[in-house]
Structure 1
Amino acid sequence: MRIRPITRDEITELVDDLWLPFAGEMGDIDEYDALAEDVDVRAEALDYRRTQLDDDETQTFVAVSDDELVGYTTVAYSESPPVFARDSGAKVKDLYVAPEARGEGLGTSLLERAHEWGRDRGCARISLSVHARNDAARSCYESMGYETRYVKMDRPL
């Protein structure tokens, strides 16, 4: 298993083989995260990922096994607003491991690579968001020292 930055040639594979299944799983956990039916979700995702590739403050790392992508994480640099007495941070925007590659520590390895990327940029902290019902992901994050700092709440209007 190798973890490395994604290449432009792998964007389609990332979207088709990892991001779309990830989005489907998140929609299954909570209808709020279901994909829209009235837009070309795949085309939008491809454009978004290509744009991210050109952003120096965002990086996607992929896990590769036998020349296939089996997981990924995207991490972004974030400056703290000057009104707060805290340093810059990194934010894990998403993390996904294909079902057939789960249980082998791949999520942990991807997160460790995101941590390294943040440290290399002088970030003092790294954060992420996880769905309250995603017990497996929460367990992974907590085992790596992540703690709940905020709770996001919403309701229908």
Structure 2
Amino acid sequence: MRPMTPTEYDRWQHDLATDYAGDQVAAGNWPAEGSYERARAENAARLPQGADTDGMLLLTGTVDGEPVGRLWIGLTHPRGVPDCAFLYDIEVAGEHRGRGLGRALLAAGEAAARERGAAALELNVFGANPAAADLYRTSGYQITTQQMRKDLRRTAPRFAPSHAYHRAAFAGDPAELAGADRRLSVQQAEICLSRAKLAHARFLTGTGDHQDELPLLDRAVTLFRQAGDVTGEAEALCWTGIFHQVVRQDDAEAVPFFRRAAERGDPLTRSFALRHLGVAEHRAGNLTAARELLEESTALRREHDFPVGVAANLVGLIYIAAAEGRDPADMITEARALASAAGATTVLAEIEEAAQATS
């Protein structure tokens, strides 16, 4: 870690305001019009002397001398909480994401705050950012307060590029166009992925055409990758693997997609990738590997409150337990309870079939 250079500080202020304004608009807190200027004004109020503002740590994280991320910590809490610093911003550069640097950057910031007398570090995280929330939770952070909101309009607000357009067309400032393109690419990718999941559901239920599933997944992967959205790309890769494994019954084609998704996905995506890797190992007769993968997937699903996913995993674990000479009775009982509580009749039927086959 080292202090930001003046050039890094200027670029960071622009990026920070762009991202913060986008988060506030997406959360429904601010209108899009004027959000960038409002974000710049709020940051300027917190940093009246810029990079030299007392009580502020403005740091750049480097690996082998190359900048890979940045951090903003206030040593005085904005609400006056004694002995508690506040994390305003943490960011890993897009090309360096997916390597565990976010966790390393957070740990380095904690050490820097501790060295300067802070006894605790607090932060806010938007509900629309589950990957960040998971990083903080697994790094030892606990919820102290929680805000909740329900959108009562028919449709939730989505990002619109009008602000970037206005800045370019009326102020001659094209700086926000790339960011707007990125956010629209993510939206397009999310729509493609959602439509692919609907197509897969039509396949599973035999209720309509699903031929567009793979093209939609390919498009989602491309758009997420172009936008630098590693988490979204991992989810789309996982579902591409599911297509090859479930629709085409081709584990050899599916496994590389699952492995990439498991390496880079959020916990829920990892749980899906590990589950389907376990299915592939089970089909190949590798019971120990299959069990370990399904158990890891199940642990993630328990931790992130996905009970019907736990029940689905237990089906495979029931067969494996019986094949290994272990009694699956407890797993059958738990799987029945979880599936019944969720109203998952398809999973419940699979559980009953497994119970009968292993009795």
Question: TM-score by structure 2 length?
Answer: 0.35
Q: Is the 8 A contact 2:21 2:35 kept in 1?
A: no
Identity of matched residues, %: 23
RMSD of Structure 2 on Structure 1 (CA):
3.5
Matched residue, 1:95: 90
Aligned ranges for residues 4-153 of structure 1 at < 5 Å? 4-16=2-14, 18-20=15-17, 22-23=19-20, 26-27=23-24, 29-32=26-29, 36-37=33-34, 40=37, 44=41, 47=44, 51-64=49-62, 69-78=67-76, 87-153=82-148
Q: Is the 8 A contact 1:89 1:118 kept in 2?
A: no
Where structure 1 has 5 or more consecutive residues not aligned to the other structure, the ranges are none
Structure 1 residues 131, 75: closer, same or farther in 2, change over 3 A?
Answer: same
Mean alpha-carbon deviation: is it higher for 86-95 or for 21-30?
A: 21-30
Flag the structure with larger Rg. 2
Structure 1 residues 142, 61: closer, same or farther in 2, change over 3 A?
Answer: same
Deviation at 1:47, TM superposition (A): 4.9
Q: Is the 8 A contact 1:89 1:125 kept in 2?
A: yes
Higher helix share: 2
Size of the aligned set, in residue pairs, is: 149
**Distance in 1 (alpha carbons) for counterparts of 2:23 and 2:39:** 16
Matched residue, 2:336: none
Question: TM-score by structure 1 length?
Answer: 0.72
**Distance in 2 (alpha carbons) for counterparts of 1:96 and 1:140:** 12
Structure 1 residues 21, 127: closer, same or farther in 2, change over 3 A?
Answer: same
Q: Is the 8 A contact 1:52 1:58 kept in 2?
A: no
**Distance in 1 (alpha carbons) for counterparts of 2:22 and 2:36:** 19
Q: Is the 8 A contact 1:22 1:96 kept in 2?
A: no
Where structure 2 has 5 or more consecutive residues not aligned to the other structure, the ranges are 152-359
Specify the SS of the correspondent of 2:9: helix
Higher strand share: 1
**Distance in 1 (alpha carbons) for counterparts of 2:119 and 2:55:** 15
Q: Is the 8 A contact 1:35 1:41 kept in 2?
A: no
